[in-house]
Structure 1
Amino acid sequence: MQKKEETMSSNNKLFISIIDNDEMVQSLLVKILNLMNIDHFEIYIKAYDDGVQFFESNNLEEAGEHLLILDGVMPNMDGIEILQKVKSTRSNVYVLMLSGRKSQSEIEKALKLGADDYVTKPFSIKELQARVLQIIQRMK
């Protein structure tokens, strides 16, 4: 597990799970997130190839805040399926959809199911950082 440590208590942990089957996107997102200045949290970043791998990890059982960055199109379990499963069992998980699916109906569906934000691929790094920080601000 990649970890960015800050001098915070264990009560202020933020687990960021990147669920995307593209290794280049995973690597880019880990780098982007590690470079961000996120105050008030000890950050733990982990990437998963798909929803099955994510749920098998039991990462959601970790005490702290959770932010999921979900790809919309993946084998086995896509981002919408992960979103539905997470939101049916946990209300305190924040979700940013990061998808190549750009149709208004797909975006609307994800937001109605509880996604906190939706960014389409290809994406601007600065915009993604701003949107991630906006979600994290809601956690404080």
Structure 2
Amino acid sequence: MNPSAVHHVSSSLDITSFFDIYKANVVRTRSTITAIVLSVFDQSIFAAEDLEYAEQEMTLFLQHEIRQTDLVFKLGVPFEWCIILAHSGEKEAEAFLERLQSRVQLKVIPLFNQYDAAFLASIAEIGNSDVELEDLIEHGRNALVHANKEWQIVYVNHYKAKHLETVKISILEEDEIFRNVLKNSLEGLSLKHFEIEIETFSDGYLFLQSKRYLSSHTHLVIMNDILPRKNGLEVLYTLRNLPNNKKIIIYMMTKRKTEEDMIYAYEHGVDQYVMKPFHLRLFEAQIKRTFERLWS
């Protein structure tokens, strides 16, 4: 069963398994999900004979209000639900609750004509896969203890931190001094969300022999077009014929400035054409922009 097609999950299904799929997607897509623990502000407004009916109607109402990619399920405590909003952060969760409030005030189901119901909610934005569903719900429910008025929202901030993503960087440059300048420059960059592993090579042959490019990690290759033994274009052909070539970003450094040379390089898979000599700070800005796009 695909969670993208699920509106709700019955008690007979394993909720935890579905949540594990959602949080795995957080890592894979670098997005966030948000968990809402929702409770009725004052359960005493319901007549005893209407409690079961009211809870069922509210559950159906919530199932109708979520998207196909979201998940809602009843908790073990009366009039409490957990809602998982896929690809959403705190702001999206707030907007969802505002829409919920307006729908309640519009009396969209008969229950809201009979009872003036209102909700409390906690919001937990999840940016990593370390969270367990049981702990998430417990923190959400505990947060509700501090809510004391209708439609109040409280926040759980335990799960926002995102894991750093490892990116390999390979520098292919014959000149040792310039090679080290580039390495030191990259090591000094502040790259949010990423940790980098840099290795340098004096020619294309050594790089290809290293097999470093055979990896599932994103790999930034910064290379001169003229190199001993295996030049930059030969390395380029090899990399662009790999199954994982979409994970490889290629910066080509060159002294060739003709339009034909640039077109040839781009047509054969270069992502960024850097003409020598270049300003180091400009180069650093280009690298930072590449990493920003990686995260977006």
Q: Which residue of 2 aligns with 1:100?
A: 255
Residue 37 of structure 1: which of 180, 190, 199 is its match?
A: 190
Q: Secondary structure at the match of 2:253?
A: strand
Structure exhibiting the larger radius of gyration computed from Cα positions: 2
Q: CA offsets, 1:51-85, max 9 Å, x none?
A: 11001111112331100001011121111111111
Residue 58 of structure 1: which of 201, 211, 221 is its match?
A: 211
Amino acid at match of 1:104: E
Amino acid at match of 1:23: E
Q: Which residue of 2 aligns with 1:71?
A: 224
2-structure distance, mates of 1:102, 1:76? 23
Q: CA RMSD of the aligned region, Å? A: 1.7
Q: Which residue of 2 aligns with 1:113?
A: 268
Aligned residues: 133
Residue 125 of structure 1: which of 280, 291, 294 is its match?
A: 280
Judge conservation of contact 2:251–2:272 (CA < 8 Å) in 1: yes
1-structure distance, mates of 2:289, 2:253? 15
Q: Secondary structure at the match of 1:61?
A: coil
2-structure distance, mates of 1:108, 1:24? 29
Within the alignment, does 1:49 sit opposite 2:207 as a pair?
Answer: no
In structure 2, runs of 5+ residues without a counterpart are 1-161
- Post-superposition offset of 1:103: 2.1
- Post-superposition offset of 1:116: 1.0
TM-score norm. by structure 2 comes to 0.43
Amino acid at match of 1:108: I
1-structure distance, mates of 2:284, 2:189? 7
In structure 1, runs of 5+ residues without a counterpart are 1-7
Judge conservation of contact 1:72–1:101 (CA < 8 Å) in 2: no
Q: CA offsets, 1:77-121, max 9 Å, x none?
A: 111111111011122200111112222222111111111111111
Q: Secondary structure at the match of 1:91?
A: helix
**Does the C-alpha gap of structure 1 residues 9 and 57 become closer, same or farther in structure 2, counting only changes over 3 Å?**
farther
Q: Secondary structure at the match of 1:36?
A: coil
Within the alignment, does 1:19 sit opposite 2:177 as a pair?
Answer: no
Bigger relative CO (Cα 8 Å, ≥ 6 apart): 1
1-structure distance, mates of 2:175, 2:262? 20
2-structure distance, mates of 1:68, 1:32? 15
Judge conservation of contact 1:73–1:100 (CA < 8 Å) in 2: no
Q: Which residue of 2 aligns with 1:5?
A: none
- Post-superposition offset of 1:9: 4.4
Residue 91 of structure 1: which of 243, 246, 267 is its match?
A: 246
Judge conservation of contact 1:15–1:65 (CA < 8 Å) in 2: yes
**Does the C-alpha gap of structure 1 residues 124 and 80 become closer, same or farther in structure 2, counting only changes over 3 Å?**
same
- Equivalent pairs: percent with the same residue? 27
